[in-house]
Copies of this chain bind each other. A is one copy, B any other.
Amino acid sequence: MTDASEKESLRGLMDGIGVAAKAAGGELAGTVVEIRNAALQAAAAAIIAQRDEIRAANNKDMDAARSANLSPALLDRLALDDERIRSIADGLLTICGLPDALGRVIAEWERPNGLRIQRVSVPLGVIGIIYESRPNVTADAAALCLKSGNAVILRGGSESFHSNQAIYHCLVAGLRKAGINPHAIQLIPTTDRAAVGYLLSSMAEYIDVVVPRGGKSLIRRVQQEARVPVIGHLEGICHVYLHASADPKMATEITLNAKMRRTGVCGAAETVLVDAEAAHRLVPLVCNALIAAGCEVRGDEVVRQLVPTTVAATDEDWSTEYLDAIISVRVVADLEAAAKHISEFGSGHTECIVASSPEAAEQFFAKVDSAILLHNASTQFADGGEFGMGAEIGIATGRIHARGPVGTEQLTSYKYIVRGSGQTRP
């Protein structure tokens, strides 16, 4: 094919997906939750029933990935065994068990002229999800959209193409079983990178919001090319600030957990800030515990004097999301200086203050502007499930629409219902 006819055919494919998604989304908005739940249950059953097919598809992806010399970490992300397949099905059932996010009366009031006004939740419409290698996102993301009444257009990573397709067929089987328009969930059936560009730049007519799930380069691409609204997070450069009043034992436990429980999640701590007043007491304790746990500690000059086994931090460290067993540690003058550091180097994701003084915590809450602020609790609680919001599609660091965990409630919009008795406006 010529380039022009390829372009034409991609446009036709994508516009067709857009039109179908919009129609399916309109129908979905009118369904009761029992129907959407039935589709999720049937999809979960299909995933278990078709686990051999899913594993076979995954084997194809794994073979290609090995030939392409993907890193062991990426291979591990991609791999599906029976246990992981079961946990994908379980994930669908968890979302099935969440309360209905639609039709909630968010607010209601009456006007002096007798008009009764309600703000009622409705779906966003059509959501585009662009994600990378983990095939489970196909099911998780689609299920959250379906549960909240949204049609979804999925675009997975090329490495997981066959795995995504196999999972997607199970989701569509679930829709059909529940009598829902199968276009409510669509997976873009090509690995052509131009499809992502077209989705971002030319489908504003069909897509209400795009949610990118992946690394920094994907998210930057989305934010630069998108002509549709985006809910996303750039990165999680999360801080643990140890106030002078911090209990040393709690400071150590929280810092260890915030960094080392899982180093690859966006809520993992990347930098510890320690009040100068308490540095002698806290820095050796916390750094040695981190080092003993296998973490590389990169400290500023004061830290290096107190704990010579630490590595020298460079300016770049303060703005690096390691996602690894590495942490930077800096001594700051006071809470004000900590807030300034976070505002300068942070990504607006999640920050924690360890302090025995409640006043210090309130000051921290007032002065630091991030999606999630914690007092005396690990940053690893930055998670929709831990917040009691059920599953989430990600943690938003933007300020528009949703901030923090994005669950079913955050995947809704609202409309105003006004009941009158013949009122006209004077």
A residues adjacent to B (C-beta < 8 A): 26, 29-30, 109, 111, 115, 117, 119, 122, 124-125, 204, 208-209, 223-224, 227, 229-230, 247, 250, 253-254, 256-258, 261, 343, 361, 365-367, 369-378, 380-381, 386-388, 398-401, 403-404, 413-425
Given contacts A381-B115, A418-B372, contact A400 B124 (CB under 8 A): yes
List 10 extra interface pairs beyond A30-B366, A119-B404, A254-B424, CB under 8 A.
Answer: A111-B386, A124-B400, A229-B230, A373-B415, A373-B416, A374-B419, A376-B420, A376-B421, A377-B418, A401-B401
Question: Of A29, A250, A253, A381, which is in contact with the most chain B CB atoms at under 10 Å from its CB?
Answer: A381
B109 touches A418 (CB 8 A): no
A375 touches B208 (CB 8 A): no
In angstroms, Cα B421 to Cα A253, docked, is: 12
In angstroms, Cα B348 to Cα A208, docked, is: 13
A400 touches B400 (CB 8 A): yes
Copies in the complex: 2
Taking CB atoms, residues of chain B closer than 8 Å to A119 are 404
Taking CB atoms, residues of chain B closer than 8 Å to A419 are 361, 374-377
* The one of B367, B404, B415 that contacts A403, using a Cβ cutoff of 8 Å: B415
Shortest CB-to-CB span from A238 to chain B, Å, is 13
Q: Which residue of B lies closest to A401 (CB)?
A: B401
Q: Which residue of B lies closest to A365 (CB)?
A: B417
Shortest CB-to-CB span from A379 to chain B, Å, is 9
A416 touches B387 (CB 8 A): yes
Taking CB atoms, residues of chain B closer than 8 Å to A30 are 366-367
Question: Of A29, A343, A367, A420, which is in contact with the most chain B CB atoms at under 10 Å from its CB?
Answer: A420
Q: Which residue of B lies closest to A379 (CB)?
A: B425
Taking CB atoms, residues of chain B closer than 8 Å to A386 are 111, 115, 425
Given contacts A117-B387, A229-B229, A400-B124, contact A369 B415 (CB under 8 A): yes
In angstroms, Cα B117 to Cα A361, docked, is: 14
In angstroms, Cα B253 to Cα A26, docked, is: 32
Shortest CB-to-CB span from A18 to chain B, Å, is 16
Taking CB atoms, residues of chain B closer than 8 Å to A229 are 229-230, 398, 400
* The one of B26, B261, B416, B417 that contacts A424, using a Cβ cutoff of 8 Å: B261
Q: Which residue of B lies closest to A376 (CB)?
A: B420
Taking CB atoms, residues of chain B closer than 8 Å to A413 are 399-400, 403
B415 touches A378 (CB 8 A): no
In angstroms, Cα B422 to Cα A424, docked, is: 58
* The one of B109, B258, B373, B381 that contacts A388, using a Cβ cutoff of 8 Å: B109
A250 touches B425 (CB 8 A): no
In angstroms, Cα B62 to Cα A106, docked, is: 46
A425 touches B109 (CB 8 A): no
In angstroms, Cα B224 to Cα A350, docked, is: 33
Shortest CB-to-CB span from A362 to chain B, Å, is 9
In angstroms, Cα B29 to Cα A31, docked, is: 41
Interface CB pairs A-B, < 8 A, 16: A30-B366, A30-B367, A109-B388, A111-B388, A115-B381, A117-B387, A247-B422, A254-B424, A369-B415, A376-B423, A377-B423, A380-B425, A387-B416, A400-B400, A404-B414, A404-B415
